[in-house]
C-alpha cells in the first residue's frame, strides 16, 4: 500500500457524508463575506536564527517560511512565556500564563476542560482540526478532528492518535503531518470557515532528517556562533551549572549519531542513561530500506570520526559536535519548510489564500551553539525569543515589520479577534490585529517570563523575570537566590550581568518596579512559586 493510501485509510474517520472537496476559486465577493480561515503552523524548537528571513548568515535557507514574511508581517520581538514544550502549547491554546492555566512544566497534567480558542471558534461555526504535535496528554478538546503524536512522537514510521485511536503510519513524520493537514483541508465543508492547527514535531531532539535532506546537509559546514566557547564569566551560578553544553551534555549516540559499538571501542561513556537506547530506538523504527539509506550516509561519517578521535582535542571535538548538531537539526527544518511551501501553494491554488490567516511560529526559541548550548529553558534571548511570521492579505501589507514586544499569550485573543468572537476576560494576552494593520496607538512596554522545571534534565534553575525594550531582569530562586540584569542595547549577547554595577542602580530599581507590577497584573507571586515547587517535587521524588 502506498504512503498516501495508508494516510487515506488511517484518516477514514474524516469521511463524512456530504463533505466535498474544497470549493476552488470562489468569487471574491463570496470570499469577502466569510470569516477568515486560520492555518496556524507551529514547529518545535525552531530557533529564529534558523529562519533566513531573520537574516542570520551561515545557516540554512527557508524560502517557503520566508514567503510568509514577504507576503505579510515578520515580528522581531516575539517571545515565549515559559520556554518548554507542553507549557508553551498550553499558553498558546488558553491565552493565559502557565501559573493561570496550570500547566507550568512537562510533569503536571493539563486540564483540557478549561476554555481554549479552538473551542470558542468551534462554538461560533468554525471547523477545527489539530494535526501533529501537541504534547498535552488526554483527548484534545475543541477540535472536530485530531491526529496527534503521542508525547514527543517519532520521526520515522510514527504513531498518531487519530480521534483517540492509536495507529502507526509508514513514512517520515514531517511529510505525514503535512499530507494529513492537506487531506483534511480537501475534505472539509467548503461552506464553513476553518481553523487548522498544523503542528510539526521537527526539529525536536533527537534530530533525524528525511533521506532527501540528510544526504544534502551532512555535506555542509555551518558558521559557528561567536560565543561557542563561552566560559560564563560575568554571569551567575545558573549559567555555570546548566547541563546544556554541546560537547559535554549532548548524547554521543542519540544526538551525534555515533554508533554504540564505536562508543564502546573508543571508550566514550554515555552522557545520559538513555543515550544508546535512543539511538537504537529511533533507528529501530526504520524499515529495511530506510535503514540502509541512513547507514550508507552516516556510517562513513562515523568511521571517519573513529579514525580521527584519538588525536582530537576538546576544542576539536566541540567543532565536530557542533557541525553534527547543525547538519541534523537544520536538515529536519528543511522538511518543515517543504511542508510550508506545499501548504501555501495549496491555499493559493484553491483560491483560499486571500481569506486565510497563515501563521508560522515555534513553541519557543533554541540555542544553536550560542554560549556553547543546545536546548532552551533560559530567559536569555536565544531561547526566550521565538520566530513569528503572519500573512493575511486582507489586512496585513506585504513586508510589514513589527518591533513591539509580543508573546504567545497573544495568539488566542488575536485569532478570536479576527474571527469576530468575544475574547474572554480571563485571557491575559492582547490581540495583535491592530499591530499588524499599523492601527495600534499603544502597546505593552514590558513582558513577563517564568520557568519551573528544575531539578530536571539540563538543570536550568527556576526563574522568572521581566524584559523591556532595552533591559532584562531575571531572578533565579529555590536552591540559589540570584539576580541578573542585562543591558540588551550594549550587551545583546548577554555576557555581563550588571545587576550590582552602581552605574545601573536606577535601572535596577526601575526594573524591580516593573517586575512587581507585572507579577501583580498577571496574578503571580512567591506563593505560586512555592506551591508549584512542592507539587513538582512531590511527583519527581516518588
| Residue ending a domain, choose from 323, 357, 377 | 323
321-354 pLDDT per residue, tens: 999 999 999 999 999 999 999 999 999 999 999 9
- Tell me the C-alpha distance between 532 and 452, whole Å: 8
| Domain boundary, last residue among 323, 347, 366 | 323
Q: Is residue 526 part of a domain?
A: yes
Rounded to a whole number of angstroms, the distance between the first and last alpha carbons of the chain is 46
Asked if 468 and 511 touch (Cβ cutoff 8 Å), the reply is yes
Question: Which string of DSSP letters, residue by residue, matches 256-294?
Answer: T---HHHHHHHTPPPSSTTHHHHHHHHHHTS-HHHHHHH
Residue 112 burial by Cβ neighbours in a 10 Å radius (0-12, 13-18, 19+): middle
Q: Which residues contact 26 (CB under 8 A, 6 or more apart)?
A: 190, 351
- The CATH number of the domain where 522 resides is what? 3.40.720.10
164 lies in the same domain as 249:
no
Number of folded domains in the chain?
2
Q: Which residue has the cell 468575544?
A: 422
The answer to whether residues 317 and 372 touch, using CB atoms and an 8 Å cutoff, is no
**Residues 392 and 535 occupy one common structural domain:** yes
Show which of 296, 323, 350 is a domain's final residue.
323
**Other CB atoms within 10 Å distance of the CB of residue 18:** 5
Q: Please state, rounded to an integer, the average pLDDT across all residues of the chain.
A: 94
Identify the pLDDT of residue 177: 98
Interhelix angle 63-71/314-349, nearest 10 degrees: 60
Does residue 345 share a domain with residue 288? Answer: no
CA distance 33 to 354: 12
* pLDDT, one tens digit for every residue, the chain (542 residues): 444 444 544 454 433 333 333 444 444 335 445 899 999 999 999 999 999 999 987 788 999 999 999 999 999 999 999 999 999 999 999 999 999 999 999 999 999 999 999 999 999 999 999 999 999 999 999 999 999 999 999 999 999 999 999 999 999 999 999 999 999 999 999 999 999 999 999 999 999 999 999 999 999 999 999 999 999 999 999 999 999 999 999 999 999 999 999 999 999 999 999 999 999 999 999 999 999 999 999 999 999 999 999 999 999 999 999 999 999 999 999 999 999 999 999 999 999 999 999 999 999 999 999 999 999 999 999 999 999 999 999 999 999 999 999 999 999 999 999 999 999 999 999 999 999 999 988 999 999 999 999 999 999 999 999 999 999 999 999 999 999 999 999 999 999 999 999 999 999 999 999 999 999 999 999 999 999 999 999 999 87
Is residue 228 one of the residues assigned to a domain? no
| Domain co-membership, 277 together with 305 | yes
Partners of 358 in the β-ladder:
39, 391
Q: Which residue shows C-alpha cell 491554546?
A: 93
Instruction: Note whether 276 and 412 are same-domain residues.
Output: no
- Grouping H, G, I as helix, E, B as strand and the rest as coil, residue 341 is helix
130: β partners = 146, 197
| Residue-range definition of the domain harbouring residue 319 | 236-323
Structure confidence at residue 30 (pLDDT): 54
Asked if the structure places residue 9 within a domain, the reply is no
Give the integer Cα–Cα distance in Å for 339 and 350: 16
230 domain residue, yes or no: no
> Looking at the structure, do residues 308 and 340 belong to the same domain, yes or no?
no
Q: Could you tell me the sign of the dihedral formed by the alpha carbons of 32, 37, 41, 42, in that order?
A: positive
Under 8 Å CB-to-CB from 359, ≥6 apart: which residues?
Answer: 38, 39, 40, 41, 42, 68, 388, 389, 390, 411
Quote the pTM value.
0.94
Cis bond before residue 243 (omega within 30° of 0):
no
Amino acid at each position: 500500500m502506498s504512503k498516501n493510501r495508508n494516510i487515506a485509510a488511517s484518516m477514514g474517520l474524516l469521511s463524512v457524508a456530504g463533505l466535498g472537496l474544497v470549493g476552488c476559486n470562489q468569487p471574491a465577493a463570496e470570499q469577502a463575506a466569510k470569516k477568515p480561515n486560520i492555518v496556524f503552523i507551529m514547529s518545535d524548537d525552531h530557533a529564529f536564527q534558523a529562519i533566513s528571513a531573520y537574516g542570520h548568515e551561515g545557516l540554512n535557507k527557508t524560502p517557503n517560511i520566508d514567503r510568509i514574511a514577504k507576503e505579510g508581517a515578520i515580528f522581531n520581538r516575539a517571545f515565549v512565556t515559559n520556554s518548554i514544550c507542553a507549557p508553551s502549547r498550553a499558553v498558546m491554546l488558553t491565552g493565559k500564563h502557565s501559573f493561570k492555566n496550570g500547566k507550568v512544566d512537562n510533569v503536571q497534567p493539563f486540564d483540557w476542560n478549561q476554555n481554549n480558542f479552538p473551542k470558542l471558534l468551534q462554538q461560533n461555526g468554525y471547523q477545527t482540526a489539530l494535526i501533529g504535535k501537541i504534547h498535552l496528554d488526554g483527548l484534545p478538546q475543541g477540535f472536530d478532528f485530531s491526529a496527534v503524536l503521542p508525547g514527543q512522537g517519532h520521526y520515522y514510521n510514527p504513531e498518531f492518535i487519530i480521534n483517540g485511536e492509536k495507529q502507526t503510519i509508514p513514512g517520515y513524520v514531517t511529510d505525514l503531518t503535512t499530507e494529513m493537514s492537506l487531506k483534511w483541508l480537501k475534505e472539509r465543508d467548503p461552506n464553513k470557515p476553518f481553523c487548522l492547527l498544523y503542528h510539526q514535531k521537527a526539529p525536536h531532539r533527537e534530530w533525524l532528517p528525511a533521506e532527501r535532506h540528510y544526504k544534502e546537509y551532512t555535506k555542509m559546514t555551518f558558521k559557528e556562533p561567536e560565543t561557542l566557547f563561552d566560559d560564563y564569566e560575568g554571569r551567575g551560578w545558573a549559567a555555570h551549572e546548566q547541563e546544556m553544553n554541546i560537547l559535554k551534555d549532548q548524547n554521543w549516540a542519540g544526538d551525534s549519531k555515533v554508533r554504540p559499538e564505536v562508543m564502546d571501542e573508543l571508550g566514550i561513556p554515555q552522557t545520559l542513561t538513555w543515550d544508546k537506547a535512543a539511538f537504537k530506538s529511533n533507528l529501530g523504527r526504520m524499515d529495511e530500506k530506510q535503514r540502509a539509506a541512513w547507514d550508507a550516509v552516516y556510517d562513513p561519517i562515523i568511521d571517519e570520526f573513529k579514525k580521527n578521535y584519538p588525536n582530537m582535542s576538546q576544542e576539536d571535538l566541540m567543532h565536530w559536535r557542533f557541525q553534527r548538531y547543525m547538519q541534523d537539526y537544520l536538515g529536519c527544518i528543511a522538511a518543515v519548510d517543504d511542508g510550508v511551501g506545499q501548504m501555501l501553494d495549496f491555499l493559493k491554488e484553491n483560491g483560499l489564500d486571500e481569506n486565510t490567516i497563515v501563521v508560522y511560529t515555534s513553541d519557543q526559541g533554541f540555542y544553536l551553539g550560542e554560549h556553547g548550548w543546545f536546548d532552551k529553558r533560559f530567559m536569555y534571548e536565544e531561547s526566550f525569543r521565538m520566530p513569528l511570521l503572519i500573512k493575511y492579505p486582507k489586512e496585513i501589507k506585504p513586508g510589514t515589520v513589527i518591533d513591539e514586544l509580543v508573546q504567545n499569550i497573544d495568539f488566542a485573543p488575536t485569532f478570536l479577534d479576527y474571527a469576530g468572537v468575544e475574547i474572554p476576560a480571563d485571557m491575559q494576552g492582547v490581540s495583535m490585529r491592530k499591530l499588524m494593520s499599523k492601527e495600534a496607538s499603544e502597546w505593552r512596554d514590558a513582558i513577563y517570563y517564568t520557568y519551573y522545571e528544575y531539578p530536571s534534565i539540563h538543570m536550568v534553575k527556576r526563574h522568572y523575570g521581566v524584559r523591556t525594550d532595552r533591559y532584562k531582569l531575571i531572578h533565579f530562586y529555590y536552591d540559589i537566590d540570584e539576580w541578573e540584569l542585562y543591558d540588551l542595547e550594549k550587551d545583546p549577547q548577554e555576557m555581563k550581568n550588571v545587576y550590582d554595577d552602581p552605574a545601573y542602580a536606577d535601572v535596577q530599581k526601575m526594573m524591580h518596579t516593573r517586575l512587581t507590577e507585572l507579577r501583580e497584573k498577571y496574578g503571580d507571586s512567591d506563593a505560586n512559586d512555592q506551591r508549584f515547587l512542592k507539587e513538582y517535587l512531590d511527583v519527581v521524588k516518588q
